[in-house]
Amino acid sequence: MTPDYAAILATIHAEVQPLLSEGKVASYIPQLSTVAVDQFGMALYCLDGSTYEVGAAQQKFSLQSITKLFALALAFSREGDAIWARVGREPSGNPFNSLVQLEYERGKPRNPFINAGALVMTDILSTRFVQSDVAVLQFARSIAAEAGIDFDLTVAQSERETAHRNYAIAHLMKDFGNLHNPVSTVIDSYCRQCSISMTCAELAKAGSFLAQHGTVPWSGLQILDRSSAKRLNALMLTCGTYDAAGDFAYRVGLPAKSGVGGGILALVPGELAVAVWSPGLDATGNSLAGTYALERFTTLTARSIF
């Protein structure tokens, strides 16, 4: 039986209100710290085309690390298993921007969702496309069917000015031979890619091809074959929510990708994509109210992959 999604979203919206002041907006990218913390939006895109939303679901926010999922999907769709020669598929157990492991693992990042791995994806796309960030933007526009999706160049500039750690990661990988393009090209493209903004409604629609086993539900366009989509879902489950992927799987039970802008995209394979946004983060960098909202969503709908 289909759950009463409208009623469930309304319940969740009421339940998260006390949490909205508890998280902290990301401040290491200065422009992100200007966002008011007490905001919340949530949207569903069901594979039958029905949509539901609550709160600030039409408010644009900075996708940040969620764009790593789109970059990975694009690179995987073009390069296939060749990407695994340059990036692993294991959780790192370290902060997303850590350099420590990269040194003793000789420049091969643990997975495509930590910054080092995402920079390798940007490098792969930079070799294939004139501008990798524009390729990711066009990909995002096409899977969301929204031509208005764009970079937030103020956020991109703010990140580039403070990207010391990402420069360090990129230089280290360059030294190990795992970055083929100039460091400045890769960092510039990566910062613009991370600045792509979407609403929850757009993000749920954009992610729905991963819920429909690699095929865009409304157009029938196959982005990934079924097996590849399964693999990306598996990576989201094990590596998609920073160091908290184990706890997130325990609490929510869905493959998901989060970003420091406060967004989370989660998938119920075969049924729907759900996007949630609340900019206050918990200590692990995931949206505090967003994680709680997804936990309540899977509890109230009895939907999970387990």
What is the set of active-site residues?
A: 65, 68, 190, 242, 260
Nearer to ligand GLU, 150 or 225 (CB): 150
Q: Using CA atoms in the order 298, 88, 91, 249, what is the torsion angle rounded to 10 degrees?
A: 10
Burial tier of 136 (Cβ tally within 10 Å: 0-12, 13-18, 19+) = buried
Question: Among 194, 198, 204, 235, which residue interacts with ligand GLU (rule: CB under 6 A)?
Answer: 194
Q: Is 97 in the site for ligand GLU (CB under 6 A)?
A: yes
Please, which of residues 165-184 interact with ligand GLU by CB under 6 A? 166
Q: Find the shortest distance in angstroms from Cβ 246 to ligand GLU.
A: 17
Of the candidates 199, 230, 223, the residue with the CA atom closest to the CA atom of residue 53: 199
The rounded distance, in Å, linking the Cα atoms of 103 and 18 is: 42
Nearer to ligand GLU, 188 or 301 (CB): 188
Q: Find the shortest distance in angstroms from Cβ 212 to ligand GLU.
A: 25
Q: Is 159 in the site for ligand GLU (CB under 6 A)?
A: yes
Nearer to ligand GLU, 52 or 248 (CB): 248
Q: Is 212 in the site for ligand GLU (CB under 6 A)?
A: no
Please state the φ and ψ torsions of residue 25, each to the nearest 5 degrees.
Answer: -70, 150
The rounded distance, in Å, linking the Cα atoms of 188 and 122 is: 10
Per-residue interface string for the shown chain with ligand GLU, residues 225-264, x marking contact by CB under 6 A: ----------------------------------xx----
Contact yes or no for 137/150 (Cβ under 8 A)? yes
Q: Is 265 in the site for ligand GLU (CB under 6 A)?
A: no
Task: Report the interhelical angle of 132-144 vs 200-211 (nearest 10°).
Answer: 90
Q: Is 64 in the site for ligand GLU (CB under 6 A)?
A: yes
Residues 6+ apart with CB under 8 A from 253: 298, 304, 305, 306
Nearer to ligand GLU, 41 or 259 (CB): 259
Per-residue 3-state assignment (H helix, E strand, C coil) for 55-87? ECCCCCEECCCHHHHHHHHHHHHHHHHHHHHCC
Per-residue interface string for the shown chain with ligand GLU, residues 108-147, x marking contact by CB under 6 A: -------x--------------------------------
The rounded distance, in Å, linking the Cα atoms of 112 and 137 is: 18
Q: Find the shortest distance in angstroms from Cβ 226 to ligand GLU.
A: 28
Which residues contact ligand GLU (rule: CB under 6 A)?
64-65, 96-97, 115, 159, 166, 194, 259-260
